[in-house]
Every structure is written in C-alpha cells, then in structure tokens.
Structure 1
Amino acid sequence: MAFDGIVVANLVCELNKTILNSKISKIAQPETDELLFTLKGQNGQFRLAMSASASLPFLYLTKQNKPSPLTAPNFCMVLRKHIANGRIIGITQPDLERIIQFEIEHLDELGDLCHKKLIIELMGKHSNIIFCKEDGTIIDSIKHVSAQISSVREVLPGRMYFIPDTTHKKNPLTVSQEDFLQTVCEKPEPIAKAIYTSYTGISPSIANEICFRAGVDGDFSMSSLHEDEKLHLFHNFDWFMTDIKEEHFSPNIMYKGKEPVEFASLPYTSYEEYTVTNYDSISEVLETYYASRNIYTRIRQKSSDLRRIVTTALERNRKKFLLQQKQLKDTEKREKYRIYGELLNTYGYHLESGAKKLEALNYYTNEMITIPLDDQLSASENAKKYFDRYGKLKRTYEALTTLIEETKNEITHLESIATALDIAVSEDDLVQIKEELIEFGYIRKKRGDKKAKIKSKPFHYISSDGFHIYVGKNNYQNDELTFKFATGNDWWFHAKGMPGSHVIVKTEGEELPDRTFEEAGRLAGFYSKGRDNDKVEIDYLQKKNVKKPNKSAPGFVVYYTNYSLTIQPDISGIEQLS
C-alpha cells in the first residue's frame, strides 16, 4: 500500500471540486491522532476525516460519523477557537509531496478577517497535523516534536513551519528529459530505486510500474540499457507525469481474492494476477481500502493469542514427532536380536566357555553371520539376553507406532485449526475456534466460564449456474456441513492432502454442470492451506461416500473413491450471499 504523492494529488484534485469554499461547521477529535470535520457548502454537506497515525495515516471524505470524547482534547479546542465556522479557500499540494495544505479564512475575536493554514503531512511514522498562522508560525500540532525527538525539525508552538529537505528529491512534474537521464543515470542503484529516490511523491510500486510500462527490468541498472531504451523509459515517466498534471486519475483497488492488497490513482499494468475494481472517487477508494484492511488487521490482532497457542502446540508436537520417528528407527534392529537368540539356541550347545563370538549359519538368509557374546555368560544366557532385547524393542515399536499415529493426527488437527484462523473474517468465527481449543485442552477453561454463544455461520456462495455452495470456516462447521446439513447425493469438495474447508454443493436432485464443479473446486482451494499456490489438487465425491472414523477429531473424514481436479485457487467472480 502506498499513500504516495500521486494519491495525494488525486485527493487534492477531488477536494478542490467538492469542498473548496465550504464552511467548517463542526470540528471533532475522535482519536488522539485523528480529526473529523463537518463541512457545508454549495455541493452539500461533507465529512472530512484525517489521521496522523504512524501506522495508518489518511485523509479522505466520508459519510461515516465517529463518536467523540466528552471532553475535547487541547488540539481540538485550539482549532475550534480559531477556525470554527471558517471557510476553506485553498487546498494545495507543494510539489508532489505527501502534504496537503488547507488555507482557511475566518473572523478573529475582533471581527477582522484572518487566514490560517492547516497542514496534513501523510508521511508514515512522521505523519502530523500542524496548525499555522498565515506567515507559517506554528500555533499547535496534533503531535509535538521536540529537538530530542528530531534533529531535523521541531514541531512546537511558536516555531516556523517548513518542509525538511532531507533527501534532496526533485519535483517529478517539472523534470526535463536531460535532467531525468542525468539524474537517474548517475545513480549506481537499480533503475526503479533510482527513480523513487530521485523524485518526490513516487513510491517503489509506481517506479516499478513505470519500468514495466517501458519494458525494462526495474532491478537492472541504467548502465544495462541502450540509449533508445533510456529514452523510452523517460517517455513513459513523462506520460505518467502528464496524466497527473492533466488530472487523468483512475482510482482503483487491487484485490487478491477478497483481500485488498494495493490501491492506486492511476491504472497499474504490472499487477496482472490481481483483480482490479475501479471507483469514481479516491476518497471512496481510501475509505473502502482502509475499512477492508482494518477487518483483516483487527482479526489478525484478535486472533494473535489463539495463533500463539496453536503455533506453540504445533512446534511441540512436531519436535515430539521427530523424536518418536528417531526412536522408531532404533527399534529396526529388534529382528536382528531375535535371530541372534534363535541361532544361539540352535548352535550354542558346542560353544566353548568364555567365547566372545559365535560364527553361525543364518538359515533365514543362508549366510554366515557373527554373533557377539558376553564371555561371562553361557550360550543360553546370551540367547535370553538377546530375546529380552528383542522383546523390549518390540514393545517399544508397538507403543511408538500408536504414539506416532496419535501425534500425526494431532499435528493434522492443529494445522486445520491454524488454517481456520487464516480463514476467519469476524470475531464470531474466532469464538468457535477458541471453543475447539478449550475442548481439546489447548486452552484451560476458567472456572465459572459459560459456553460461548456461537453466531458464526459457514460461507454461502451461489454458482454461476444457480447451485448453492457452502464452505465451513472451521472444524465444527465442517462436521456440521458434511454430516448434518448435506444429503447423500450432494457433492463434497476438499483440497487434497492439506488442511482446508469442507465445501458442499447442494444438488437438489439435479446433475451439476462442469462450471459448478470447477467453481466449487476453486472455493475448496482458496479456503485451504494452499490458497497462495498457483495450482491446488481438489478431491471431490458425493457426500454419501464420506465417512467419519469413531472418536476422530472434528473435521476429520475418510473416503476411498473420489474424483480429482486441479484448479487455481481464485474465487473472483463467484457470488457470495453471506
């Protein structure tokens, strides 16, 4: 994700068309680093949300309101005192920096017309919202930055505001061909890096896109290009900048499945593997993207404790499994000891006292072998010693065989829970996973805790041919779908040899078309551990042929006859109902 200078340029263009000359009717500070303005103008009422969060800075128009604290923070009170009922008369972006400057006209306490500046810097961990006088003197900021925090610039009341030029980047909107070739060629770095480190507002993804459009590898150096290739690279760079100058923006979000992975203000041609959704408004893009990302981020945060429990249990069981396998390998010599005992009983009658070995014919292989002996023991006592070793190793082998199977099943069970955590999209989904971890002893149930109310439901899709498809989000739902919801002639799908969801296609007595088989397979691949693979093999069969072994973990099934198909785990274009 890149909230770069190009996205900011798109945003400034949009704001100038919608809220310029609007009056600021309300100012709220719902979070410590976030502001929400309510604006009224000729185009109607708007809400402008802005955040200086170090992890997720943003600014966009929104229809959503947020509750504010009962007591307004100091910065909010300062803004209300100065610019409440003020009018936004200018919205600008210096060069192509990630900075938006609002010029606000208002009346002071004496009724005189004054001008102030509200400057929003969208610069990752250095993001800030700074309120200044017309001459650039800082009145206040949402984050105070002292000399102890930054040696480059203090952001404190009374200091002068300036944009620190620490990287000496140039404005890409005013670059000539000669300057571009000279600047980028002088750098020994890869082409893409040379571009984004030379010019303001250009992110690595934009630099790579420019290289892609020019047909050059952004990881190569400029010295690897011919003169005509360098010229072609500049032309693509210039065409990109012309689109920005002429405001030919095309806001879009790129999705991998349902997860948003990137947004942009211009069309990308280098992300062919992603599904692109275009929007009319960059504010709509930003609000949609951040809302969607927040869902994934929040669920990952909420599930972090559960993930840690599952990961720890998996690591412990995998170590145990390796140790058990090593111990099992040590039992392979048990048959050798049994044969030694038998041969000693057969040939040991003529053994001399104090002998340290016995040369004998192994009648199982018809070969001569040497049997080491304890010279303090008789032949029969040596035979008994070998039989005892054989018996001990045999018992160990039998016990380990059972333990290894149990450990393997536990690893499979834990891997299926880990996959369920990856699939979870809501807190309700996590509740059911936690209940499973409690039931199997991975989480200790606290005294007095009541069983959680389960609200999570399976995913519900409809195929292009109108057949209803259900996808379990966790092991409990998988069991419920397969053995209580599905009927005998419904079709069952699952990723082959890896943890994943049970996928049920309701046939209603009809024969499924090939396209529905393929779409159900794509769903089974996407909701499995192999969702990031290029191809996933899917097993499918009628539900009546799926069996559940006694006392097996939830979600565990067996089947002996099935069909297979290989698909790409891409579910774009499959309609989701719930």
Structure 2
Amino acid sequence: MDEKRELTSVDLVALTAELNGYAGAVVDKAYLYGDDLVRLKMRDFDEGRVELLVEVGETKRANVARPEHVPNAPGRPPNFAKMLRNRLSGANLHEVRQHGFDRILEFEFRREDQDTTIIAELFGDGNIAVLDQNGEVVDSLDTVRLKSRTVAPGSQYGFPQSRLDPLDLDYERFAERMRQSDTDLVRTVATQLNFGGLYGEELCTRAGVEKTKDIEEAGDEEFEAIYDAMERLLDDVKAGRTDPRVYYAEEDDAERRVDVTPLPLEERADLRSEAFDSFNDALDDYFTNLETEADEGGEETTSKPAFEEEIAKRERIIEQQEGAIENFEEQAETEREKAELLYERYDLVDEVLSTVRQARRAGYGWDDVEARFEEGKEQGIEAAEHVAGVDPENGLVRLRIDGHTISLDPEAGVEKNADGLYTEAKRIQEKKEGALSAIADTREELEQWQRRREEWSEEEHEPEDEEEEEEPEDIDWLSRASIPVRKQEQWYDRFRWFRTSDGFLVIGGRSAEQNEEIVEKYMDGYDRFFHAQAHGGPVTVLKTSAPSEPSQDIEVPESSLEEAAQFAVTYSSVWKAGRGAGDAYMVMPEQVSKTAESGEYLSKGGFTIRGDRTYFENTPVGCSVGITCEPSTRVVGGPPSAIEGEAETTVSLEPGKFAQGDAAKRVYREFRERFTDESFVRKVASPDEIQKFMPPGGSRIAEE
C-alpha cells in the first residue's frame, strides 16, 4: 500500500476547524525551505510557541507541528521569505478557511497597517500565493497563467473553478446529481461528489449499499442511505467530533505509516491504528515520520530522553510568557498615554468629535465626513490636520496626536473615550498579572523536570547533549551537473532594478517613458527619489513598500541609500563617459513635480525638484552581474555590495572599450566556464539577458 502524500477535502474540513483554534496567534518569523515548504513561527498566549507548516511539493499538507519536529532554520532567507517576514511580522492569525470543498486553504492575517492572506493550493502541482487586502498577488512560489485563471505578482488572484461542494447539497440536489451519473455507486460518490476513492468506498460501506451497483439499478433507498452516511460524517468533522488515527501496514516484518484520517474508517479496519487527541497531532506524527521512513540509507538517530524535551518545552514557554509580559507593559502604557493625550488636547479632540456628531446627525455619510476633514486640512485647520481617517464599520474617527493614532467614538465625548482607554490599560495590566502567575507555575514545573533529570543522571545514565543547530550546508551550484530552472515573474522585471543588501527594492527607468511611469505610478509617499547630477540618467526610486501596500514611513539604512545613489550614477552618462565617479542627490516624493518653473520647459521624462536635496558626492560607479540559483534562477545586476551577497557567482564590470553587446557576450562566456551545467547558463543567462543589467556605454570585465 502506498503512503498517503496529500490531504483530502474531508481532511481539510476537519483541519480547518482545529486550525481556527489558533486564531489570535502572533507571527514572529517566516521561513522557506527549498521551493515548497513554508514555516510560520508564531506565539499564542495559551499555547506558547506555535509552528505552522505548509507544504505544496510532492507532499501536500498543512499542520501545526511540535517544535522538535520543525526543521532547523535555513541559511540566508530567500526573497519570498523576506517578503513574508515583512508582511506578517507582528500580524495576528485571524481565520483559516477552506475554499468550498476544494483542496485550498486560506490563512488570513491581520495587522494594524495591512491585512495579508496566504493561499495554499494543495492539489495538482501545488502552489502558495500571498495576497494583499485587495486580493492582489504580492508574490507566489509559482506563476500560473491559464485561460481560466492567473496567479502572478500584481494580478488579482484567480481561484480554480470550484468543484461540487457536498456540504451545500440538500437531498433533492444530491439525488439528482447521483441520477445524472453513468457509472456505479462508488465511482459516482468518488468523482461526481468529489469525495475521492477512499471516502467514496467508506460512505458506501457505512451506508450498507453494494458499491459496484449500477446507478440505473439504484434508487432512493440507496441514495438516502449514502446521503445519511455523508451527512453524519461531514457533521462530525465540521463540529470537531473527531477521533484521529494513524494507520500502519506491515511489510517484510516491519510496520510503516500509510494513512492518517480525522475519523476511524471501516475501509481501514484491517490495519493497525494509533489514536491521537487531535487531527493536528496525528498529521504531525504522520508526516514527520513519513519523511523519516522515506529517507533510505540515512543514519539512525536516537531521540533525547523525554525529560529533555519537557525541559526545553517549558523554557520556550517561559520565554514566550516573558515576551508577552513585556508586550502587556508596553500596551498598557500606550493606552494610558493615549488617555492622557485626550485631556492634554481636550479642546482639539472635542472640536473633532463635535464636528463628526453634528455632521452625522445632519445626515452626512462617513465619506462626506472624511471629505470635509480633507478640505479642512487644505485650509490649514489644525483640528482637521490631526484626523487620520474614519472607520465607518465601527462608527469611529481616528486622531493622530503626538505619534499615537487613537480611535474614538464621537458619540461618547472626550471623557468617556478617555475612560475607555484607561479601562483597556487596566484590562491589559490584569493580563500581565495572569501571565506572571503562569510563569511562576511554569518555573515550578521546570524545576521538577530538572530534578528528575539530575536523578536520572545519578543512575549513571548521562543525558545526550543536544546538538547545536547548524546552518544547512550550502549547495555548490557551480559544480552541479544539472540545475533546475525556477523562474518567478515580477512586476518590476521590465525596469532596471536590484535589491539592496538590506532587502529594499530599487527600480530605474530604461527610457523617458519609463521614468515618467515610475514617478506617476510606482513612487509612493515614503519612497526615496534619486538622480545623478549628470545629465542622461535614469529616475531611480528606492521602494519602502510594494505597489499594492500602503506606503510606510520607515527608516532606510545608510548602506541602502548609498547603493541606490551608486545605481543612479552607474547607469547615467557618467559610465558612458568613462568616468570613475559622479554625484547624485536624494529627495522625497513630494519634492518631485512635473510642473516646470515659470518660463521653463520640461522634456519627456524630466522633472522639477523643489526644496533641499541630500547629496552623495563623488560616488564611485560600480556594477556586478550575477546568477542566482535559489529561490529562483535568473540574472541579477547592480552595485557590487548588493549583488555579490545575493548571487551564486558574479562578474564585476568597469567602464571600458567593448560595446554593451560585446561585453555581454564576454560575461556570458565567463559564466559558462564557471558552471558545470552549461545548458543552465544558456537557459537563464543569455547575452541578451545579461545586457539588460549592464550600464549604457562601453564596458569590460574588471580584473580581480
């Protein structure tokens, strides 16, 4: 019997119910292993550390795993993992949904500044897509472009065409669907009702009908029996009335795990099974050991004594509880500060609340209220300038005072709103006291387990030393005979672009038209605008957020600013002129205008800069071109300090006598000499592709 490698639709009904028990857990970090396993490390006040694994390769599953079953953290995180960390760090798991009866899970996360949904496609080739709050794809492990749907960065996510959902069927529709079949009972339940082979047979067995009976010979007696069996099974898994099992098959005098189900199955009655308290626990046991059993020839490993795991578990819980206490202290202090600010700025707050109350009672909608405050901002009215927005769904107005955004109920007045904030601070303080009590209990348990370990040691059983986590060994891609090609299309591919050593995306125009497009469509309020002092350079924008995300005022490290300035200088006429350095300047987006000064004219792709500039003087030109092998295979190019840390191998360029096309061919030949798999270089790094990342003008390979 083959091992189960993919979760079924019935499995996902049961799993979704359990995963929603972790709602409220906060994401700490995200990891990507290979190109098909995502791990989200979360923390829950009640559960402590929560490890969510989602796998979409040959094995397709999702489950919460015990910490000791989680793979060691990989080395340098790929861009997909960095994107997940940027979007999910500090976000709360809000809800887990199954899309209809399909093998698709939706994980919705919420954070004050943005919402994110992760779609796990646990069918076919498998895929993971990350969506913003508008349903637009931020990134995905694989790009899908079909006539029926698209899954690609920058596009609206398209679900596959949904199959029949038996959860929504009443008996009449169920019977009608059965009668439309031209095969036997079991095949109809398996295919037409989407239960699959195993559960198709299970429902027929539970219903007590002849599986191979032709539909034409069957009638309401058989249909009603199957429908009743289906309803009972689905009602149980939806309501969490499960009795999970892992099943074993015996071969060659040895047992191996072959299946995991949320309920005991009559179709598996001939196999030995092991019961678990939750379906998550069963999945964790099954898939963890499935991988172990599949590793042929691996060295046998011995597990740590049980008390070592228990000690580590309680140490992790204490760490999480201490972190929670710090958060509670900060949260309570923040709520008190907000309440005090309301009294300090009493007149301003009261003016805003009174304005909203009067407008609402006069019949104005929330959109009108917000528009009125926007007009007030343009007129320089101080109270309006402090309004950050409205929340129509909850009937609130948001004020921004001294760095705090405060949501207020206009009907409550200043005093009641302040009292509400003080009450919230008190509630958080009580949670802190509860956490302190919980820590005391956990420390007592820890001491008990430590004493047991000491007693065990005295009986001359030395505990095994826990191995230190080691970063996985880097793959030597240059010497591999065959390298898989994994391409990920990105919205910025048609521009000049690179990622700084700190992970910020920098884009530049290839033409006057692209320069205007970047400024008008892709430059947001907190991005950074760069340009070389020399004439004939690209508009260069360092992005602080993705196009589909709200712009954020975040600090950009000096190293990234310097790399962006070097990019602006390198791809300007400075390189073409053969000079080794040039000047660049940086401004904020609001300083960039398409409106010329009086009496002046702006050519296409030109802009007027107003206000003070930050200069980067005598910035050296510098360009490296490289090839990445993971998580995607592609050419990259830009400032050496950014590219050399990202690519598997790089070639440094300097201004020289060879035309751009000829220099690209020389770089291509150099890459072919470095990689054992020459066909891989031909596929991903043709001279034309390399040329896209080279500065305009003559170049040559720099001497090492």
Task: Sort the TM-score into its range (normalised by shorter chain).
Answer: 0.3 to 0.5
Q: TM-score, normalised by structure 2?
A: 0.40
Q: TM-score, normalised by structure 1?
A: 0.48
Which structure has the larger Rg over C-alpha atoms?
Answer: 1
